Structure 1
Amino acid sequence: MGDFNTIVSINEKNGGSNRLTPAITEFRDCLLEAELVDLRYKGIFFTWNNQSFGEACSAKKLDRVLANSFWHSIFPQLECTFLPQGGSDHNPMVVKLTITLNPHKAIPFKFFNAWCFHPHFFSIVDKQWKTFIHGTSMFQAIQKLKSLKQPLRDEYRDKFSNLKEKISKVKLELDRCQAELDHKTFDADLRNLKKTLSAEHSRLLLAEEDVIRQKSRITWLKLGDSNTSYFHKSFLSRSNSKRILSLTSTTGEPITTPEGIKAEALAFFKHLLGENPPPQHGQEILGPFITKTILPQHIPLLESIPTDLEIKQCIFSMSKDKAPGPDGFNAYFFH
């Protein structure tokens, strides 16, 4: 942390020349090489200015707090605050090291594509899908998906947890087998064992990469290129950015406790939206603002029930990692 005397991009500068200098590109390349990213921060963005006026005024983000993925994994709730300058031409930085432990929350169900390649997957789905449920077709589908969650959790909780540890264990056994084959080249049992361990090692590697990729939501990289490290860093970055560690109240007071943040957010939206819904119907409220409507002959088309083929084409046209609903089953499950 400190004053690096340069910026990462021209977006971190206000005033003066917008030319991309060698110092900027070298600093950016240095951060990429060292795998350093900014610690989550709030407060003042431009941390330095030249104390001038008019066209001569210039402000830059020269000060920053950097950390690698290991630091983010150990201290996921840390954040930096850039305070007003005071008497200096730089803004002071304060890193909050107090870790607030949030109460345990139930983890929602999430379907992972790697489960499909496990030998018992289709038998589990087939068993739950053959269960008789009384009701409409849509109700039956929803209830069967709900009943399927717990058997999948029970089956794959252990098999797909601690994948890194399992990969290391299989790799160690594979290395030992290969070393022994160096002395027993024609041993059929050792060769079969090596084949089995190699297949298991490859399966676990792909499963780990696929699981982390889904968590990171990076869809533009293909599997099989050993992108696990990149996916893991992206996942940590997403997890850190989704956390709300502090808020500023309407009176300007900082709020850092989970209970206080929850109460402040609730009070803010109650004030913004009101506690009671308006008496008017949606059509009466939005009607004056809608200037274009569909033609009467198009209404039956919108009201018609889609065919099974249309539903299948819609689902199969979706990206495999997109979820049709909040139930945790993505499009790949239905593919």
Structure 2
Amino acid sequence: MSFVHAKCSVQERRVLWYTLLNDKPISLPWCIGGDFNVILAPHEKRGGRPFAIAEGMEFMSFMEEARVFDVGFSGASFTWSNNRRGRARVSKRLDRFLVNGACLDLSNAISVLHLARHPSDHAPLKISFKERSDHTPRPFRFLNVWTTKSELLEVIRYAWNQDVSGSPLRVLSSKLLATRRAIQTSNKQHFGNVFDAVRSAEMGVQRAEEAMDQYASEECQVELSKAQAELRHALSIEEQFWSQKARVKWLKHGDRNSRYFHAVVRQRRA
């Protein structure tokens, strides 16, 4: 845990960013909280001079270099006010909590609450680390990767066309339930557990490489090529899965980035 009270000028805050980066843990969870004396966007301010993008650039640069992000909040929108009246009143969100990716491994739910400012001009912040209950039913999510199987449309059509009696609402509910179950069954048959498939494909490539190193025959080369193709396919499905989960559409090329997608998913969830 790092607690900060930043200075008002850009030059003085640079010393703080430098000091924090020197204290940055390599792989441990890290949470930074306090008064940063700077905002990131126009909606974090009301009153006073218009927001200038340059105001938040140094703060954004620090967050990027430190690999931390804002966990959000509930409560009042602003944590500081000059307590004046009328047009002279200025309010800003100067106080916040930042965490790194490893911090999310400690808890499934991190929440920040802005408490009442009185009698100070700054609001106290309450941060909570809680575990989510795994007993709650999970909602049905349609995965775009399912559409790569041409049989999916026929599976949906067959489930939807089943005869159901009762009121229109009961018919609709029954058809939706039957279609969901049919899709889930199809998913188990064609995809199964996305992550188990990747691990299995990796082991297949490893076995094929070991055989190739030992025998170096044409048959071993063919088996290695097949195993590599299966691994590429499994990785492609995993990447599509995390891409949809993270709702990241701009990353179309480059190296496999599942760890990045996973971090974005956890950040959105937090």
TM-score range, shorter chain: 0.5 to 0.7
Identify the residue that residue 238 of structure 2 maps to in structure 1.
208
SS in 2 for 1:65: strand
2:227 to 197, 207, 227: 197
2:99 to 30, 43, 67: 67
- Tell me, in whole angstroms, the C-alpha distance in 2 between the residues paired with 1:115 and 1:10: 40
SS in 2 for 1:96: strand
- Tell me, in whole angstroms, the C-alpha distance in 2 between the residues paired with 1:81 and 1:45: 10
Q: Is the 8 A contact 2:41 2:56 kept in 1?
A: yes
Identify the residue that residue 236 of structure 1 maps to in structure 2.
266
TM-score (norm 1): 0.54
What does the per-residue CA deviation read over 1:213-244, in whole Å, with 9 as the maximum and x for residues that have no partner? 333445x436555454454344435545xxxx
Deviation at 1:151, TM superposition (A): 4.4
- Tell me, in whole angstroms, the C-alpha distance in 2 between the residues paired with 1:85 and 1:132: 59
SS in 2 for 1:157: helix
Deviation at 1:124, TM superposition (A): 9.7
> For 1:148-297, what aligned pairs fall within 5 Å after superposition?
149-157=180-188, 160=191, 162-175=193-206, 177-178=208-209, 181=212, 186-218=216-248, 220-221=249-250, 223=252, 225=254, 226=256, 228-240=258-270
Identify the residue that residue 304 of structure 1 maps to in structure 2.
none
* Count of aligned pairs: 234
Identify the residue that residue 79 of structure 1 maps to in structure 2.
111
Larger radius of gyration between Structure 1 and Structure 2: 1
Q: Is the 8 A contact 1:73 1:236 kept in 2?
A: no
Q: Is the 8 A contact 1:38 1:66 kept in 2?
A: yes
In the alignment, structure 1 segments of 5+ residues that lack a partner are 241-335
- Tell me, in whole angstroms, the C-alpha distance in 1 between the residues paired with 2:62 and 2:79: 21
1:36 to 60, 68, 84: 68
Q: For the aligned residues, what is the CA RMSD?
A: 4.2
Q: Is the 8 A contact 1:41 1:79 kept in 2?
A: yes
Q: Which amino acid aligns with 1:164?
A: F
> For 1:100-119, what aligned pairs fall within 5 Å after superposition?
101=133, 103-105=135-137, 107-117=138-148
Q: Is the 8 A contact 1:129 1:144 kept in 2?
A: no
TM-score (norm 2): 0.65
In the alignment, structure 2 segments of 5+ residues that lack a partner are 1-32, 165-170
Q: Which amino acid aligns with 1:190?
A: C
Q: Does residue 96 of the first structure (1) align with residue 96 of the second (2)?
A: no
